[in-house]
Amino acid sequence: MNEGTVTEPVEAQEPVEGHGDVSVDELALAAELTGSGERAASADIAEYALWLGDDALILAQQLGAWITYAPELEEDVALGNIALDLLGHARSFLRYAGSWDGRSEDDLAYFRDEAEFRSCWLVEQPNGDFAQTIARQFLVSTYMLELYSALRSSTDPTFAAIAEKAVKEVDYHRDHAVQWVLRLAGGTDESRARIIRAFGDVWPYAAELFRDEELIDRLGDAAVRPSTLRAAFDAVVAAVFAEAELEIPAGSTSAGGGRHGSHATELGHLLSEMQVLARRHPGATW
């Protein structure tokens, strides 16, 4: 996240089909951020930007841990690209959130404590085995695609601009997760058992994504009311589960609480790893 200017041209790579391409030449990286230079309209707008930015940031950190550990080389690349997309979304939202009180995106990513984060519990769930990561990714990307599709109509122009860019990338993220759900469910007895168990583990945390908080009432048309996304989310999940011959998990739902700073125990460990370098060498640049 550290800001800087790239002085040496880097040859652009051929884009992966269905995936956004990135070219880096002689430009300030900060200028790439959607909404860069805008000031948050209110404390509530900044808080909502934290919701969205923290979800993307924590999920990016989780997926980055799979690089060199994924089951095949192509997945190292795919999960790395998805993590970079999410990191870009996080940078845009956190920069916008920080414009309210003068904090930078790095301040918000590396120098907040656990209780100051607003990420949902689903993105905080551990990677587990590859099946659990895919189950979590399928639920999150399905939600994010519905969210960003709706957020493009936000009355806040910065939210609308970020969503316009993000929705194209998250469409790829969901497709990637769907293909793996089908592959694991239709593979060996072991892979099928693992994806069934994985959905059982992560499904209870999906409910938090669709809870309407008081903040949404105050923001009006600048935000997306979470409960309005549930029907479309459920329809996609049902269609994929039907094709994979899986059943919707039954059981209790998690209380959640991430939007208010109450988090799953795993977040503290993740933040310790993510923040250690910045906290040990504050203000360092490279």
pLDDT for 25-63, tens place per residue?
A: 333 444 446 656 667 779 999 999 999 999 999 999 999
Enumerate residues 6+ apart whose C-beta is below 8 A from 283: none
The pLDDT of residue 181 is 98
Under 8 Å between Cβ of 79 and 66:
yes
Q: What percent of the chain has pLDDT over 70?
A: 86
What is the CB neighbour count within 10 angstroms for residue 63? 26
Half-sphere exposure of 31 (CA within 13 A, CB side): 7
Tally of CA atoms within 13 A in the half-sphere of 271 that contains its CB: 21
Residues of the chain with pLDDT under 70: 1-38, 286
What pLDDT does residue 250 have?
A: 87
Query: Which CATH number describes the domain made up of 39-248+263-280?
Result: 1.20.1260.10
Token match 């609480």: residue? 257
Q: What is the structure's pLDDT at 33?
A: 60
pLDDT at 5: 36
Q: Which of 132, 162, 160 is nearest to 55 (CA)?
A: 162
How far apart are the C-alpha atoms of 29 and 210, rounded to whole Å?
34
Domain segments of the chain as ranges:
39-248+263-280
Distance CA 163, CA 56 (A): 12
pTM more than 0.75: yes
pLDDT at position 37: 61
In a 13 Å sphere around the CA of 102, the CA atoms on its Cβ side amount to: 0
> Dihedral sign, CA of 275, 39, 209, 230?
negative
Cα distances (angstroms) measured from residue 174 to each of 21, 190, 281: 17, 23, 37
Q: Which of 132, 59, 124, 127 is nearest to 89 (CA)?
A: 59
Check residue 35 and give its pLDDT: 57
pLDDT per residue over 175-210, tens digit each? 999 999 999 999 999 999 999 999 999 999 999 999
Judge contact between 55 and 87, C-beta under 8 A.
no
